[in-house]
Amino acid sequence: MFPSPVPTGAPPPNWQISPDVHSAVGQYWQKTCLSESLSKLRDTISLAKS
């Protein structure tokens, strides 16, 4: 449904990310995905009501 914030496949050898940054990115991703899906849900509900 939504693109994954974690890179798919084998990351390059120099790909290293600190847990703090990773969790921050994950939280931001969840918030944006959640707000987008909620707004889409509201649009769908308002369309169904009209």
The total domain count for the chain is 1
Give the Cα separation of 27 and 46 in Å (integer): 28
Q: Is residue 9 part of a domain?
A: no
In a domain, 38, yes or no: yes
- Chain segment 8-44, per-residue pLDDT in tens: 565 555 556 677 777 888 888 888 888 888 899 999 9
Tell whether 2 is covered by a domain: no
Contact (Cβ atoms closer than 8 angstroms) between residue 22 and residue 14: no
* 8, part of any domain: no
Is residue 20 in a domain?
Answer: yes
Range(s) of the domain holding residue 43: 14-48
**6: pLDDT strictly greater than 70:** no
Q: Could you tell me if residue 6 is inside a domain? A: no
Residue 10, φ and ψ in degrees, nearest 5? -80, 125
